[in-house]
Amino acid sequence: MQTYPLVAAEYMVMAACAAFAFKQGDRAERLGAAWFATNMVVSAVFNFAGLDTPVVHLVEDGIFAVGLLPMAMIFVSYWIGLVTLIAAALFSLEAFYLLNDMPTDLTYAWVNNTLWLSVPLVYLSAGGSNFLKHRREARRRREADMAAALAA
């Protein structure tokens, strides 16, 4: 029972990072954050419905990775490319354990949780990077406007 508050907190942090990237990011980050949020909702629905099997996790991770791949190719975004690589690693982890009929162990849990928690950190970094870029551009515009006003 102690894990439910931890999982709820994890989902809230993931949603907050995705929302920050959605608000601050460019079009690629917005689409990637929306895809990530959709994947989180679908995953939560499947978990609450009792569909918590390795095959379901494999399909979820595969769809998540395949959905990110066109975004990485179209927008040539480093952030989306990094999330795509992480999603591919998640899919590979699920496939490795499923195809070898290995039960989920502590190593699986650590690797899976580390990869899943790195996705919102990438989105947080993307949103922060875009936020700082927009601040720099606004400051440069203000300085240019002040210089033009003083020159006139």
DSSP secondary structure of 23-85: HHS-HHHHHHHHHHHHHHHHHHHHHHTT---HHHHHHHHHHHHHHHHHHHHHH--HHHHHHHH
Amino acid at 131: F
Report how far residue 150's alpha carbon sits from residue 120's, in angstroms, rounded to the nearest whole number: 45
pLDDT bin (cut points 50, 70, 90) of residue 1 is very low
Question: Number of structural domains, the chain?
Answer: 1
pLDDT at 9: 83
Look at residue 152 and give its three-state secondary structure.
coil
For residue 2, pLDDT over 60 is answered with no
Mean pLDDT over 15-34 rounds to: 89
110 vs 119: CA distance, rounded Å:
15
Q: Would you state the pLDDT for residue 91?
A: 92
- In tens, the pLDDT along 48-98 reads 888 888 888 889 989 999 998 888 888 888 888 999 999 999 999 999 999
Q: How many helices (H) and strands (E) does the chain have?
A: 5, 0
Q: What is the pLDDT of residues 99-147, one digit of tens each?
A: 998 988 899 989 988 998 899 999 999 989 999 999 999 999 999 988 8
